[in-house]
Amino acid sequence: MNRLLPVAAGGDIPPEYRNTPIGQLLAFHNLKSPFTEFQNAQLLVGMCMDNRKHLHIPDNFAFIIRAGGANLRYSEFKVSFAIAVGGVRHIALIGHNNCGMVNLHARKEMFISGLVEHAGWERELAEQHFTQFSPMFEIVNEIDFVLSEAKRLRMRYPKIQIAPMLYRVEDNLLYLINEA
């Protein structure tokens, strides 16, 4: 976890993010800065669907897309909408530690059995479903995935500032990921 940059004070926010919605996100969430009112979203947050994560931000501050592993590959139209129609110019891409999409193959039997028991699927269809889609969603490492996704999004949206972050479930804080 030495690739993580903590934000415990205003001075910890890197200069490129100060006075931007990304800096505001870090101030609201980590530093508990007082909320201000927003009429329109200031940024897009792409984060995992995991229920252990909750952002401390004001109403109307951000569009939020939740997808397993913070994988926005299959949500690009929504990203484009937030930029083109919503007017956002900043994206906070937030992965988290202990993500269920890491080592997804180890959960294969639980996944298949869960679909059979809880959703009424036939076992063969559940197996096919896992086999077909798990390679699209499995990530090897949370930090490396967020960095690769940030790089991919920067190539797709070159005028948008994108900040790769990690949410640590132990302390519920956001950490910037060192890209150096």
Would you tell me how many other CB atoms lie within 10 Å of the CB of residue 177? 20
Q: Is the pLDDT of residue 1 over 70?
A: no
List, as one string, the DSSP characters of 130-152.
HHHHHHHH-BS-HHHHHHHHHHH
Whole-number Å distance between alpha carbons of 79 and 90: 11
Token couple for 150: 């940030």
Q: For 53-97, write each residue's pLDDT tens digit.
A: 899 999 999 999 999 899 999 999 999 999 999 999 999 999 999
* Contacts of 75 by beta carbon, 8 Å cutoff, 6+ apart: 46, 65, 67
C-alpha closest to that of 54 among 140, 72, 45: 45
Q: What tens digit of pLDDT does each residue of 108-128 get?
A: 999 999 999 999 999 999 999
**87: helix, strand or coil:** coil
Residues forming beta bridges with residue 163, ordered by sequence position: 92
Above pLDDT 90, what percent of the chain? 88
pLDDT of residue 100: 87
Please state, in angstroms and rounded to a whole number, the distance separating the CA atoms of residues 149 and 143. Answer: 10
For the chain, the average pLDDT equals 95
Domains, the chain, in order of start with CATH, read 4-101+140-177 (3.40.1050.10), 103-138 (no CATH)
Residue 170 Cα distances to 26, 34, 52, 53, 167, angstroms = 17, 24, 10, 10, 9
35-44, 84-93, 96-105, 146-155, range with the lowest pLDDT: 96-105
- Which of 34-38, 109-113, 135-139, 166-170 has the least mean pLDDT? 135-139
- Span 93-113, pLDDT tens digits: 999 998 889 888 999 999 999
Specify the pLDDT at position 90.
Answer: 98
